[in-house]
Amino acid sequence: MKILQYSLTLLIVLSLNFILPRMMPGDPLSYLDNSDPSVDSPMLLTEEMRQKLLAYYGLDKPLGEQYFDYLTGLLRGDLGWSIYYNAPVAQVLWGRLKWTLLLMGTATVIYLTLGIVLGAFSAWQRGSRLDLGLLFSTFAIGSWPPFFLAMILVILFGIRYPLFPIGGARDPLLAGATGLERAKDIAYHMVLPVLALVLSHLPGIYLLMRNSMLGVLGEEYIRTAYGKGAGDREVLFRHALPNALLPMLTMVAMRLGFLIMGTMFVEVVFAYPGMGTLIREACLARDYPMLQGTFLITMLFVIACNLGADLLYTRLDPRIKIA
């Protein structure tokens, strides 16, 4: 059932990706060359590129055949030809994806750890001044739109007090550096973007953890644990924490969409050479094949993570069976 649901979702996503460019007013290519005088085209399309595009879309064939070609193309890893970069979409994507994954991965590790520790602590000390303080700071931080937060960080720590670089992933002067120096340079450039991401996602995870922990602390088995003479430490680490962590798994997977959205904004503000910047560039240049490629990769990633979380959850929690 779960597998069926996910396959159906995947099929819908793929079909949407196929249909959208064909739903645009006029011919998908009329935006790109100057054949339609009413459209202000951002670039001139050479005849050679037009042929390439036509061959990719196969626009002269019937729709059913186009759809079939599109699906088989995807299976071969063919994501199309980027108009703006004049290179295969898959190749450009690959170069950008690693930066996004690096940024997202680092931020996720940090905000998950912090969020879980703070959330559990807050729930344990519920009602205390510390708990309230944490709760209110989360409210305050959590309300900032990620791009606004990122811009303020740039202004404060990049320009007012120039502690960190304001953009990019590496120093062009250190392009030839290897080993430790290269790693240091990359880490240095990552500080502000990661900080922005952590700040914008920490509140959500903290609240989820606090809430999950509060729920667990109200359960009968916690009372039982106290009743049999367990100490605070034992109750916290052996009974409360593992159970409170369980629902976090699904929640983290469900919040992935948010994370991607946040990463996109943060990358744009910091001109970080990842997928988010790529999406913005593709939007501005109307590079539709590129846009579709990035969309497809994002969707595949999210759906895979959701499926993984679902399957893992049924493993970890025997009370839930696959329906």
Partner 1 sequence: MKTLFSLVFQQKMTLVGLAMLGIFIGGALLAPWIAPHPPEQLYEPLRPPSSQHPLGTDDVGHDLLSELIYGARASLSISLVAALASTLIGLWLGTIAGYSEGQPGNYVGFMIMRVVDILMVIPRFPLIVLMSAFLQPGAGTLILFFTLFGWPRAARLARAQILSERTKDYVQAARLIGASDRRILIRHLMPSVLPIALTRFVIEFQHVILAESGLSFLGLGNPMVKSWGMMLSYAFRYPTIFITNLWVRWIVPPGMCITLVVLALTFLSFSLEIWANPRLKTWSARGITLTTHKPRIEREQATGFAPRTKPFRPLPRT
* Interacting residues with partner 1 between 146 and 185 (CB under 8 A): 146-148, 151-152, 154-155, 158-159, 166
Contact flag: residue 322 with partner 1 (CB under 8 A)? no
Binding to partner 1 (CB under 8 A): which residues in 22-51? 23-24
Q: Which one of 202, 269, 278, 289 is in contact with partner 1 (CB under 8 A)?
A: 269
DSSP for 56-94, please give it. HHTTTS-HHHHHHHHHHHHHTT---EETTTTEEHHHHHH
CA gap 186, 119 in Å, rounded: 31
CA gap 150, 267 in Å, rounded: 9
CA gap 41, 156 in Å, rounded: 38
- Which residue's CB is nearer to partner 1, number 196 or number 260? 260
CA gap 105, 115 in Å, rounded: 15
Contact flag: residue 3 with partner 1 (CB under 8 A)? no
Closest CA to 104 of 252, 285, 315: 252
- Which residue's CB is nearer to partner 1, number 175 or number 319? 319
- Which residue's CB is nearer to partner 1, number 183 or number 283? 283
- What is the longest distance spanned by two Cα atoms in the chain? 82
Residue 221 Cβ, how far from partner 1 at the closest point, in Å? 11
CA gap 81, 83 in Å, rounded: 6
Q: Which one of 49, 137, 226, 314 is in contact with partner 1 (CB under 8 A)?
A: 226
Binding to partner 1 (CB under 8 A): which residues in 65-94? none
Contact flag: residue 241 with partner 1 (CB under 8 A)? no
Stretch of 48-56, 80-88, 184-192, 296-304 lying at the interface with partner 1 (CB under 8 A): 296-304
